[in-house]
Amino acid sequence: MNKIRIGGLLLCMQISVAMGQVGSISPYSQYGLGDLQHHGFVSQLGMGGCGVALNDTLQINIANPASYASLKVTLFDAGLNASVNRLSTSNKFTNKTDAAFSYFALGFPVVRGGKLGGCFGLIPYSTRGYSVNYNTLNTQGDKVTHYFEGSGGVNRFFVGLGSKVWRNFSVGGHASYLFGTLSKTRRTEYADNTFLYARNTLNTSITDFMFDAGAYYKTDSLFSVRTKKRDTKNPGTDSLPNYIYKKKYIRFSLGAASTFQTNLKDKNDFITETYYTDPLGTIYIVDTAEYIPTVKGKTTLPASYRVGFSLQNVNHWIYTAEYQLQDWSKFTSFGINDNLQSSFGVSTGFEFIPKFNSPKYGKRIAYRFGFRYNQSMLNLRSTPITDLTLSFGVGLPIRKDAVTAPYATSFSRINLSLEVGKRGTTTNNLLLEEYIRLHVGVCLSELWFIQRKFD
C-alpha cells in the first residue's frame, strides 16, 4: 500500500511539472513573470482566497506556514482547475477555455500534540499564455499582420515547517525553489507571401530559491455568545419552560505572512528564425538567422505582505478577512521594470458546517462563500487593471459513515470551488476578461509518521 501511495505522489509531481505551465490565456500575462497564481488550495479559494488567519488542524494551509504546527494527521491534498473565459474589447469578443493540474502537497505532524508540523508540495507560481494579432498597412498599402504570443510558466516546489512557540502563538516558514521558462514570440507576415517571414523568440529561464515566513495567534477568551437549550431533565411546561444557559467563546485569530525580496538567477536565449506558411497557416522553419545563447541576468521579486483576522465557532462556522500588499515597482528582469506599480488586495470569506459530527451526511458538508478585490500591478493607458471575484464552495466528506469510521480517514474530503469574476476594462481600448473557474481538490487524511500504541 505504501508503494502505491508513494507512486501516486511521484505521478502527481510529474503531472504538475508537465501541466503547471498551463493555466493562463490572458494578454495581461505578458507583463512581469506572467499571471501570478493565487497561493491557496481549493478549500481557501471557496472563501475568497483567504488563508493567512486560518489554522485548521485538518486542512493544509500554505498561505501561512505557522498553521502546520496544528496538523493532527497526515494530509495529502491535490487539485485541478478548469475555466471558461470571455475576452472583450469595445467592439469584439472571443471565448476561450482552459484546464490545468493545480497543485499537490503533503502535510504531517512532526511532534504530536500540535507543537511541530511540516509540509512539502508543488504548485505553479506564475503562468503566461496569450496569442494576439493586429493588422496595419505598409507604405505600399498592403496589409501587414503582427503576431504576439507568449507561453510557459514558473513552478514552485516548497518545503515548510511550523512550530508552536507559546501556548497560543505559532511561527513557520517556507523554503521554495522556483524553476521554469517564460517565452515571448513576435512575428510579422505580409499579404505578399512570396517572401520569407521572420520570427523572434525570447526564452527566459528562471531557477533560484525564495523564502517566506508567517505567524499566527489565537485566543478563546476575547468574545463570547450566550446560548440556551431546553432542559431535558426538567423541561417545565409549555407556558413556563426551563432552559439551560451556556456561554460559548468565539475564537479570535490574527495571522501575518511575508515573502522576502528575492533576486532570482535567470538566463535569456534569443533566436531569430525565417519561415514560410502554407494556406492553412502552418509554420515551416527555413533557417536560423540569429541565435544569442545564455545571457545571464537576474530578476528581482519584491517582498509581499499579508495580514488578516478570523472569528470562529470551532467546528461550526468561521469568518475571515485579510489584506495583502506587494510593491511591483521594485520588480526588474534584466534591468527592465515593465512600468509596474504596487498591487494590493482585500478578501473575505465564510465557512459554515451545520453539525460537524452529525450522523447525517448533509449536515457535515462545509459550505463556503467569499469575495476578493485586487488592484493589480498593471496600470495601462492611465487605467488601473483591477480584478473582482465572487466565490462559492463546498467540502464533501468522502465517507458517509464518518461518525463510526476510523479517526484518520473520517476527515477526508472532496473540495469544490467556483469563482466568477472579471479583470480589466474596455475603457481606453483595453481588454475585459470575464471568467468562470471551477476548482476540484481531494484532501485525504491518514495516520502516517505517528507511532501507534496498543494496549
- Per-residue pLDDT reduced to its tens digit, 26-81: 889 999 999 998 878 999 999 999 999 999 888 999 999 999 999 988 999 999 99
Please give the pLDDT value at position 10.
32
- Rounded Cα distance between 80 and 41, Å, is 10
Structural domain includes residue 192: yes
Residue 138 gets which letter from DSSP? Answer: -
Mean pLDDT, all residues of the chain: 86
pLDDT tens track for 223-252: 666 666 777 777 777 777 777 767 678 899
Please give the pLDDT value at position 241.
74
The distance from CA 348 to its chain's CA centroid, rounded to whole angstroms, is 15
Burial of 331 (0-12, 13-18, 19+ CB in 10 A): buried
Q: Cell 523568440, residue?
A: 201
Collapsing DSSP states into helix, strand and coil, what is residue 90? coil
Domain range for 275? 2-446
Please give the pLDDT value at position 5.
38
Structural domain includes residue 451: no
Structural domain includes residue 21: yes
Please check the confidence at residue 170 and state whether its pLDDT lies above 80. Answer: yes
Instruction: Give the confidence band of 158 by pLDDT, cuts at 50, 70, 90.
Output: very high
Whichever domain contains 299, its CATH number is 2.40.160.60
Q: Please state the rounded mean pLDDT for residues 120-146.
A: 88
Q: Are 169 and 217 in contact (CB under 8 A)?
A: yes
The distance from CA 402 to its chain's CA centroid, rounded to whole angstroms, is 29
Structural domain includes residue 144: yes
pLDDT tens track for 290-316: 999 888 999 999 999 999 999 999 889
Q: Are 42 and 419 in contact (CB under 8 A)?
A: no
Please give the pLDDT value at position 397.
92
Instruction: Give the confidence band of 258 by pLDDT, cuts at 50, 70, 90.
Output: very high
Instruction: Show the cell assigned to 269.
Output: 536565449
Q: Are 394 and 367 in contact (CB under 8 A)?
A: yes
Number of structural domains in the chain:
1
Q: Please state the rounded mean pLDDT for residues 79-92.
A: 91
β-bridge mates for residue 420, sequence order: 390, 436
β-bridge mates for residue 87, sequence order: 94, 433
Structural domain includes residue 402: yes
Q: Please state the rounded mean pLDDT for residues 136-143.
A: 81
Residue 341: other Cβ atoms inside 10 A: 17
Structural domain includes residue 230: yes
pLDDT tens track for 372-408: 999 999 999 999 999 999 999 999 998 765 555 555 5
Q: Please state the rounded mean pLDDT for residues 251-265.
A: 95
Cα-based angle 120, 124, 128 (whole degrees, multiple of 5): 170
Name which residue leads in pLDDT, 248 or 124.
124
Structural domain includes residue 453: no
Q: Please state the rounded mean pLDDT for residues 414-429.
A: 95
Q: Please state the rounded mean pLDDT for residues 164-172.
A: 92
Percent of the chain with pLDDT over 70: 87
pLDDT tens track for 179-199: 999 999 999 888 777 778 999
Name which residue leads in pLDDT, 379 or 137.
379
Least Cα distance to 126 among 29, 42, 48 occurs for: 29
Collapsing DSSP states into helix, strand and coil, what is residue 21? coil
Structural domain includes residue 454: no
What is the pTM for the complete model shown? 0.85
Please give the pLDDT value at position 399.
75
- Rounded Cα distance between 330 and 88, Å, is 31
Pairing relationship of beta strands 342-352 and 366-380 according to DSSP bridges: antiparallel
Q: Please state the rounded mean pLDDT for residues 126-139.
A: 87
Please check the confidence at residue 448 and state whether its pLDDT lies above 90. Answer: no
Residue 410 gets which letter from DSSP? Answer: G
